Amino acid sequence: MLSATLYSLLAVAAGVAAQTATPSAQDAPLVTNNPIGASYVAVLPKKDGSSLGGSIQVVSGPGGKGAKFAVSISGLPAEGGPFMYHIHEKPVPENGNCTATGAHLDPYKRGEIPLCNPEDKKQCQTGDLSGKYGNITGSSLAVQYEDLFTSLTPGTPAFFGNLSFVVHLSNKTRIGCANFQFLGGGISSVASSGYAAPTGAHHGGNSTISSPTLTGTGSPYGNGGTPTSSSTNNPQNSDSAASQVILGAGAVLAGVMALVL
């Protein structure tokens, strides 16, 4: 009796010891309960002297399994690639300093080494999007994919809706960063009066999108799976720049609508 009790105590102790002896390299669990319709977007701010622009839009995956990403990045420099982009563990502060975003979102502590193997994504850092889905080899990228390991439920380890993404040169220099913003989701609501919903079958209907931050003229486009990027090679006066910002916001919303609908 006594020995059996001791044995079980030892077994428990051994189990605890085994867990703490290997604190790293925990596989990322599948995320299966993301709130239906939850959507987020992060838009790279335009900076003087840089043509870099783009956004990452995210909505809950089918049935809440994982998340659907629509990544659109353009205006990358002619040299310094292939470029990487990741979800980072901290938001961008108000001064826009990308360094302040810290390291990659890595709630399961697998670290950067060995490099992410895209054939085995659960062993990659959760935030290592380009590791899992490919670096950017040209001057732009427009791609969609479903990631099964990112969470849209606040408070969970793999949640990133209050975090940021960062674009890097191949030498890891940070050339752009943006915070994710909550667009809406989970709760059916009439489209807010802040922007016009795309005309069509869903006009005035039960869109799950509301936009607390991206107000404006709404999208002139019928749909927008890939947001148009504004041309940045030509000098712009402030009026055209402003209108392009508005158009960009509309395109982002249209893209999100396309993802959700």
Residues forming the site for Cu ion (CB under 5 A): 86, 166
Alpha-carbon distance 79 to 64, whole Å? 39
Cβ closest to Cu ion, residue 126 vs residue 207? 126
* Least distance from Cu ion to the Cβ atom of residue 52, Å: 14
Alpha-carbon distance 241 to 228, whole Å? 14
Q: Is 100 exposed, middle or buried (0-12, 13-18, 19+ CB in 10 A)?
A: middle
Cβ closest to Cu ion, residue 160 vs residue 195? 160
| Residue number closest to Cu ion, CB atom | 86
* Least distance from Cu ion to the Cβ atom of residue 204, Å: 41
* Least distance from Cu ion to the Cβ atom of residue 168, Å: 5
Cβ closest to Cu ion, residue 124 vs residue 251? 124
* Least distance from Cu ion to the Cβ atom of residue 105, Å: 9
User: Cβ of 66: how many Cβ atoms within 10 Å?
Assistant: 22
Cβ closest to Cu ion, residue 46 vs residue 86? 86
Cβ closest to Cu ion, residue 68 vs residue 168? 168
* Least distance from Cu ion to the Cβ atom of residue 160, Å: 13
User: Cβ of 39: how many Cβ atoms within 10 Å?
Assistant: 28
Q: Is the dihedral of CA 26, 90, 226, 190 positive or negative?
A: positive
Q: Is the dihedral of CA 187, 192, 194, 200 positive or negative?
A: positive
